[in-house]
Amino acid sequence: MFDYKKLSKVLKSKKITSQQLLDELENRGLQLTIDGIKQYRSGKIKNPKYEILEEIADICDVSLIEFFSDSEAQKKKIVSDELSDNLENYRSLLPQNELPVFVKSVSLINGYVGAGSFGENNRDIEIIDKIYVDIHTIEKAYRDKELQAIRVTGDSMKPYVDDGDIALFSVFNDGEKPSGDGKYIISTSQGEQIKNIKFMLNGNIRIISENPSYHTKDGYDEEIDKESQEYLEIIGKVVGRILKG
C-alpha cells in the first residue's frame, strides 16, 4: 500500500521541495500542479499513478518500493535486495537462467576514475567482473542501454560517490556528444575523472566537484575555454552508482 508519509520522508531527506519536484516532473513530460504534488505528500491521493511514483523515485534516487509500507511490499524488497546482492546463488533457479526484470547486469571494468585523485588514463578496457544492479538506481533513459561500471578513487564527488564506490556510466559512441549539463567520465591531464560538467553559453566548459573543498573562490574547479578543449575528452555519461557498504 502506498504510504504518503514515506514519500514525504524521502523528499525531506533529499531536501526536495514541492516546487522543485513539480519542475523536475514537468521536465520529464508529466503535467501536474503544485496542489497535486501537495496531495501526494499529504495522502489525499490514495491510489497514485505508478508512472508518477516511478519518476519521483528516480528523481530521489531511491527504489520505488521505498514509498510502500505493507508486508507484501516488504517481502518484495527483501527478495529484490537478496537477488541483487547474491544473484549468482540463484541464477540456476530462474527460468532459462534469465535475470529478474528489475535487475541489470553491468560489466565492471579494470582501473579506476579519479575524484580528486589521479585516475587511470587507460582505454584498454578489460572486463574483470559482472555486477547486478537494481534498475531503479539507474537513470530511466539508460536502463535498457549497455553500461559499464568502474571504481572511484578520491572524495571530490562526495556525497554522490566517495572513495571506493562504483560509478555506472554509458560510453559515448563515435560522433555521440553530451546532451547537456550532468555528471560525466572525462579524460584530462590527471587521467580519467568523474566530474560535474557545465556547458557555458560562451562555449567554455566548467568542471565542478560535488565536494566544495575542491572549488576555487569562483565556486567551481576550473573553466576550460574553447581553444583548450582539445585536451579534454568526455568519455561517457554517469547514470548511476553503487555505494560501498
Given a cut of 60, whether residue 208 has pLDDT beyond it is yes
The arithmetic mean of pLDDT across residues 10-20, rounded, is: 91
Choose the final residue of a domain: 18, 49, 69.
69
Least confident of 46-60, 81-95, 184-198: 81-95
pLDDT in tens, 112-170: 888 877 766 556 678 888 888 888 889 988 999 999 999 999 999 999 999 999 999 99
- Other Cβ atoms closer than 10 A to 69: 14
How many C-beta atoms surround the C-beta of residue 17 within 10 A?
12
**Interval 122-138: pLDDT, tens:** 566 788 888 888 888 89
In whole numbers, what is the pLDDT of the chain averaged over residues?
Answer: 84
Mean pLDDT (whole number) for 78-87: 63
Longest dimension (CA), the chain: 59
Q: What is the mean pLDDT of residues 23-44?
A: 88
pLDDT at 198 over 90: yes
Is the model's pLDDT at 52 over the cut of 70? yes
Grid coordinates belonging to 67: 514509498
Same domain, 41 and 144: no
Q: Are residues 126 and 236 both part of a single domain?
A: yes
Is the same domain home to 185 and 207? yes
- Same domain flag for 47 and 147: no
Tell me the whole-structure pTM to 2 decimals: 0.63
Q: What is the mean pLDDT of residues 218-230?
A: 90
Q: What is the tally of structural domains in the chain?
A: 3
Alpha-carbon separation of residue 136 from 27, 116, 209 (angstroms): 19, 28, 25
Q: How far apart are CA 211 and CA 184, in angstroms?
A: 15
Task: Determine the structural domain holding residue 170 and report its residue range.
Answer: 103-242
Cα–Cα distance, 120 to 126 (Å, whole number): 13
Q: Do 79 and 65 share a structural domain?
A: no
Omega before 159 within 30 of 0, i.e. cis: yes
Shared domain for 204 and 149, answered yes or no, is yes
pLDDT band for position 84 (cuts 50, 70, 90): low
Give the side-chain half-sphere CA count within 13 A for 181.
Answer: 11
